[in-house]
Amino acid sequence: MEETVEIAKSPSTEDLIEDWMDYFELKGLIGEINDIASIPTRNSLYISYMDLFSLKESIARALREHPRLVLRAGELAIRKILGPEEAGRRINIRFTDLPSEFIVNIRDLRSVHLDTLVMVEGLVRKATDVKPRLRKGVFICQRCGHEIEIEMDYQYREPLECPEEEGGCGRKASSTKFELDMKKSTFVDVQKIEIQESPESLTGGDQPKRLSLYFYDDIAGKVFPGDQVKIWGILRARQKRDAYGKLPLFDIYLEVNNYDKREKSYLELEITEEDEIEIRKYAKRMDIYQLLINSLSPSIYGMEAEKLSLILQLFGGVEKNLPDGTRVRGDIHVLLVGDPGTAKSQLLRYIADLAPRGIYTSGKSSSAAGLTAAVVKDEFGEGNFTLEAGALVLADGGIACIDEIDKMSDVDRSVMHTAMEQQVVALSKAGIQATLRARCSILAAANPKFGRFG
């Protein structure tokens, strides 16, 4: 006897609209929706997922597998509330408080996740400028003046003909021209960013995977390279092309619904009560410094003074914000200088692996732009310049380990001075002005002048 599999049916748009109307009434959001419509600068209504789950479980359950349908039904319900006089007003529904069950690692995204709501975590690597994108184009036939509306997706499309059944002249595109009416067309702000897996989430020698994302409307321009973010949205696919046409392969990207920019702390670990008891017990021991020294890279014999300095660097100092607004950094910078073969590189690699947000790089192969930030022109920016974070920005809130710093040129090395003292990276290139945070400790290693001491 064959086993039958029951396939869950997608909810109807009409049922979802009614559910949304009930939810808006239960939460008393109808007044807020009307208020948002009256303020041109506000385009989003924020809904708590946990609150939605408790009041309208049917919407919350449908959201995971059918997010586009649920969001579309919510927007139609809002239009129903606003009435025909606000027919052109679009209000986005953005969700907050999504549970961790929505999280999918970037490297684990597969075809089964397409057109579903997923949440990813990572570090912003690149970001383009915010640009207007055509959402609905209104084209005017130059022969008869008839207006034709076309909803835009990823590709720009013009009318193929002036439809006679809609009151047009019936001419094909070859015998007339269609001009885009900029005032009547609808544009939306868009920003493309790229995130990569956070260094602390990687194991062994794994290379961080990357994912492209699109921020639309009022959330565009709110994240910057170096930001640690948690982002949720609809995973979509775009067909690849080559010189011969379309390919059966697709690139994935995330259409962002909302995000959470996390203020990064140096140590993002959950300490249980048992851990706290153990830590306090060790803190009372008179030989605590020796215990820490012995536990740091135990395969390297001796070098106790060097190991102690690295331990103190990992713990860090105390950041101070003075009454006059001056900020005194609490991060400690350390330079190890020694003969070749004295385990300097081993210590740097160990610290980079030990620190929750550690970045390792070599001065011999690093440039000023690679350490701070660069303005690059590549396919990601679709031919435009984009901002790409360097090692010090990616290590914000952690530690940057730079090996063989003596092999860097004086010009490249001097670029780090502002980042070391002020803990920011200021950039002004190719029309892009940005100030990125680089609140990290720097651990560098170098050989002495002329190669060896003495």
Q: Give the closest residue to 294 by CA, choosing from 284, 281, 277, 282.
A: 282
E strand or H helix at 27, and its extent? helix 13-27
| Cα(18)–Cα(117) distance, integer angstroms | 22
Q: What is the DSSP letter of 207?
A: P
Per-residue pLDDT reduced to its tens digit, 427-445: 777 677 778 888 889 999 9
pLDDT for position 6: 44
| Cα(49)–Cα(284) distance, integer angstroms | 45
232, burial (CB in 10 Å: exposed 0-12, middle 13-18, buried 19+): buried
Own/partner pairs for 99-106, CB < 8 Å, 24+ apart?
A: 99/49, 99/50, 102/64, 102/232, 105/197, 105/201, 106/195, 106/196, 106/197, 106/209, 106/210, 106/211
Beta strand 320-321 pairing with 424-429: unpaired
pLDDT for position 52: 94
> How far are the Cα atoms of 158, 250, 413, 425 from residue 400, in angstroms, in the given order?
50, 36, 14, 14
What is the 3 state secondary structure string of 322-344? CCCCCEECCCCCEEEECCCCCCH
DSSP string, 254-291: EEEEEEEEE---S---PPPHHHHHHHHHHHT-TTHHHH
CB 420 within 8 A of CB 333: yes
Q: What is the DSSP letter of 168?
A: S
pLDDT for position 129: 83
pLDDT for position 362: 87
Beta strand 245-262 pairing with 210-216: parallel
Residue intervals in the chain for CATH 3.40.50.300: 273-446
Helices (H), 286-444: 288-295, 304-315, 344-354, 368-371, 391-394, 410-414, 416-421
Per-residue pLDDT reduced to its tens digit, 128-161: 888 899 988 999 999 999 999 998 876 788 999 9
Q: At what angle do helices 273-283 and 288-295 cross, to 10 degrees?
A: 120
For range 98-120, the mean pLDDT = 94
> How far are the Cα atoms of 102, 121, 122, 263 from residue 260, in angstroms, in the given order?
14, 9, 11, 9
Tell me the residue ranges of DSSP E strands in 4-99. Answer: 44-48, 92-96
Per-residue confidence band for 332, with pLDDT thresholds at 50, 70 and 90:
very high
Q: Which fold has domain 13-97?
A: mini-chromosome maintenance (MCM) complex, chain A, domain 1 (3.30.1640)
Q: Tell me which of 451 and 257 has the higher pLDDT.
A: 257
| Cα(449)–Cα(159) distance, integer angstroms | 70
Per-residue confidence band for 294, with pLDDT thresholds at 50, 70 and 90:
very high
Residue intervals in the chain for CATH 3.30.1640.10: 13-97
Per-residue pLDDT reduced to its tens digit, 38-87: 887 788 999 999 999 999 999 999 999 999 999 999 999 998 998 877 76
Whose tokens are 């194991």? That residue is 203
Q: Give the closest residue to 314 by CA, choosing from 322, 306, 303.
A: 306
Under CATH, domain 100-263 is a member of which superfamily? Nucleic acid-binding proteins (2.40.50.140)
| Cα(97)–Cα(232) distance, integer angstroms | 11
CB 194 within 8 A of CB 210: yes
| Cα(147)–Cα(136) distance, integer angstroms | 12
Q: Phi/psi at 289 (nearest 5 deg)?
A: -65, -40
For range 28-44, the mean pLDDT = 86
Per-residue confidence band for 379, with pLDDT thresholds at 50, 70 and 90:
low
| Cα(410)–Cα(33) distance, integer angstroms | 58
Q: Tell me which of 437 and 6 has the higher pLDDT.
A: 437
| CATH no., domain 273-446 | 3.40.50.300
For range 86-108, the mean pLDDT = 89
For range 266-292, the mean pLDDT = 83
E strand or H helix at 70, and its extent? helix 67-82
Whose tokens are 């190669």? That residue is 451
In terms of pTM, does the model score above 0.85? no
For range 9-36, the mean pLDDT = 89
Under the phi-then-psi rule, with left for phi > 0, alpha for psi from -120 to 50, and beta for the rest, what region is 311?
Answer: alpha
Beta strand 117-127 pairing with 228-242: antiparallel
Residues in the chain: 454
